[in-house]
């Protein structure tokens, strides 16, 4: 049984490195593109829940760090425990 493998070329290494270094940039730009543009004041955003309703339960919420995510509609960092008048509960 013979094994044939291609030798690693400098070109292959450089292309691989370029792809790997570009991945975080793609992730950031995709997340930024998904974020909303409506000012918080227009959505009557508050950084505390409205009863049992809060952003982390909303269909528009995009999780981020434990202290702040993003919204598909409202601009800026969004507290998972916040709330706004555009609240739409997640299905299920």
- The 8-class DSSP code of residue 65 comes to S
Domain positions in the chain are 10-71
Length of the chain, in residues: 92
Give pLDDT tens digits along the chain (92 positions): 556 666 778 776 666 665 555 545 444 444 445 678 999 999 999 999 999 999 999 999 999 988 899 999 999 999 999 999 999 999 87
Instruction: Please state whether the predicted TM-score (pTM) of the whole model is above 0.75.
Output: no
């Amino acid at each position: 049984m013979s094994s044939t493998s291609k030798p690693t070329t400098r070109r292959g290494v450089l292309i691989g490195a370029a792809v790997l270094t570009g991945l975080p940039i793609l992730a950031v730009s995709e997340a930024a593109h998904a974020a909303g543009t409506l000012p918080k004041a227009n959505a009557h955003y508050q950084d505390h829940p409205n009863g049992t309703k809060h952003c982390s339960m909303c269909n528009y919420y995009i999780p981020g760090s434990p202290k702040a995510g993003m919204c598909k509609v409202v601009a800026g960092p969004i507290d998972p425990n916040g709330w706004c008048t555009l609240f739409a509960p997640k299905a299920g």
